[in-house]
Amino acid sequence: MSLPNIGGEHVDGLFVPPFPDPHPKKSSLFWRFVRGWNSWIHVLFQKSYTMKMGEIRTPGLHMYIANELSLVKRIMGDWRGFPKHHLLVRTLGPAIGNSVFSANGDDWATQREMINPAFQQAALGRTFPMMRDAADALAARIRALDLSRPVDVDPLMTHVAADVIFRTLFSLPLGDADARRIHDAFNWFQRHAQSASMLRFYRLPSFGFFGRSRRAAADIHAVFAHIVQQRLDAYRVTGDSGANDILASLMAARHPTTGQPFSFSELMGQVSTIFLAGHETSASALSWALYCLAGDLKIQQAARNEVQLVAGEQPFEAEMLRRLPVLRNIFRETLRLYPPVAFMPREVSCPTQMRDKNLRPGAMIVVSPWLIQRNPEHWCCPHAFNPARFEDVENKTKIREAWLPFGAGPRICVGAGFATQEATVVLATLLRAFSLRPVPGVPPEPVSRLTLRPKRGVQLYLARR
């Protein structure tokens, strides 16, 4: 099967946004290093999209990629047998420490139980006004721009996603300077972490890349560490959390056995995970969603009509989101095409048989939403942007088994509902305020590091409505 490197064309009436042209055959050890230095998805070859299970060897790592859905279910369902891989934990350590995203075993289970209340339905209702305020602030920032010129929406989406997290975590808006600092620092963190990972895979010294990623993470932490410290100090003295936000829920959380709260370092780990994972993945999805909407004006107008019918010119309310199925499916389809976390590495903890392969302890077993969600065995016209596929009853099983942008099994992302609510209100706000058009000849290029992002941003024309 030949998969063309399409730069935003229409095929059979469907918009096909860009993706890297897969190589005709598996890369050599040398070319795998060269291509993987910048992006994991650029290493893929044609068979990667249809194989049941692949195997890759580097000097420092034995890796398998499991694409067969029965294997995916087994891996993602067994969080003890297939924990987060130690190389991923080490890579993310400077940014998020030992938190709910990186912890394993009973430690993970305890942390998950402690943070769950912050993301339950009642908490989502509490955070909705903050999301709406962040979306309105985004619209105001865009109106102040020179819209006669193309706009790079990627840093704007990073700003609004970080602003949403800042408001819901700390009950504070995020300033322009801090938003730029976070955008730049996390891009550097990903860039250096990617290089450090490739060097470890080949048993090479890190040449300072790991240290640079630590410094980039520290730059991000500096934006909010003082807020966490001040709030925690006040809470310990007065018992007053200071606000009804996610940080308050985390400070009130108690270990289910010992009754102990999070220490400052533990609290920073959870806050950093929510902040970094939450804003980075949402920003990625929002940037790609806007590009896809700009590329298909018919779907864009259908979504706008739905927003107008449900909300008119009234302020958005949480209950309105349930009546926006077109917009919700646009977000789901964007996550199918551009899953923010394209590869999910797990570690084999004991000798394991999968298909015809004997997996040894320490090997990496990867589940890839990027590959599974673009496999033609699972999805018709898998590279096309077609939100209506989520309305097709024949896709019900595939939606449950072959759509996993938030992961699957017990370790499914705790913030999935939060991200969906956030994306819906941001997209609805923008569609009501602006029309979107692509810039001819400037398609964005996806690159996959820790998250999937557009390499040089997403250039669009925005017009006030």
The model's pLDDT over 338-371, given as tens digits with 9 standing for 90+, comes to 999 999 999 999 999 999 999 999 999 999 999 9
- Calculate what percentage of the chain has a pLDDT beyond 70: 98
Give a yes or no: residue 2 inside a domain: no
- Calculate what percentage of the chain has a pLDDT beyond 90: 70
Give a yes or no: residue 4 inside a domain: no
The model's pLDDT over 39-50, given as tens digits with 9 standing for 90+, comes to 889 999 999 999
pLDDT classification of 175: cutoffs 50, 70, 90: confident
Give a yes or no: residue 1 inside a domain: no
Report the number of distinct structural domains present in the chain. 1
Residue 5: per-residue pLDDT: 47
112 pLDDT higher than 50: yes
Residue 36: per-residue pLDDT: 83
- φ/ψ of 350, rounded to 5, equals -150, 160
Q: Is 361 exposed, middle or buried (0-12, 13-18, 19+ CB in 10 A)?
A: exposed
Mean pLDDT on 371-376: 96
Give a yes or no: residue 3 inside a domain: no
Q: What one-letter code names the amino acid at 395?
A: N
Q: Is 445 exposed, middle or buried (0-12, 13-18, 19+ CB in 10 A)?
A: middle
450 pLDDT higher than 90: no
The model's pLDDT over 217-265, given as tens digits with 9 standing for 90+, comes to 899 899 999 999 999 999 999 988 878 889 999 999 999 999 999 999 9
Give a yes or no: residue 27 inside a domain: yes
Structural domain span for residue 430: 9-347+361-464
7 pLDDT higher than 60: no
Nearest to 51 by CA among 363, 352, 368: 368
CA distances from 259 to 33, 101, 265 (A): 47, 22, 17
pLDDT classification of 1: cutoffs 50, 70, 90: very low
pLDDT classification of 208: cutoffs 50, 70, 90: confident
Residue 4: per-residue pLDDT: 41
CA dihedral 76, 77, 78, 83 (to 10 degrees): 30
Query: Alpha-carbon torsion 23, 29, 31, 32, what sign?
Result: positive
C-alpha–C-alpha distance, residues 82 and 88, integer Å:
13
Helix (H) or strand (E) holding 144: none
12 pLDDT higher than 80: no
Please tell me whether 292 is known to bind a ligand: no
Residue 458: per-residue pLDDT: 97
145 pLDDT higher than 90: yes
Classified as helix, coil or strand, 135 is helix
Residue 3: per-residue pLDDT: 38
Nearest to 338 by CA among 455, 191, 220: 455
Sheet with strand 434-438: strands edge to edge = 151-152, 459-464, 434-438
Average pLDDT of the residues of the chain: 91
pLDDT classification of 121: cutoffs 50, 70, 90: low
pLDDT classification of 2: cutoffs 50, 70, 90: very low
The model's pLDDT over 263-286, given as tens digits with 9 standing for 90+, comes to 999 999 999 998 888 888 999 999
DSSP, res 320 = G
210 pLDDT higher than 90: no
pTM: 0.93
Residue 114: per-residue pLDDT: 94
- Specify the CATH number for the domain of residue 298: 1.10.630.10
192 pLDDT higher than 60: yes
Mean pLDDT on 18-44: 88
DSSP strand E in 368-443: where? 434-438
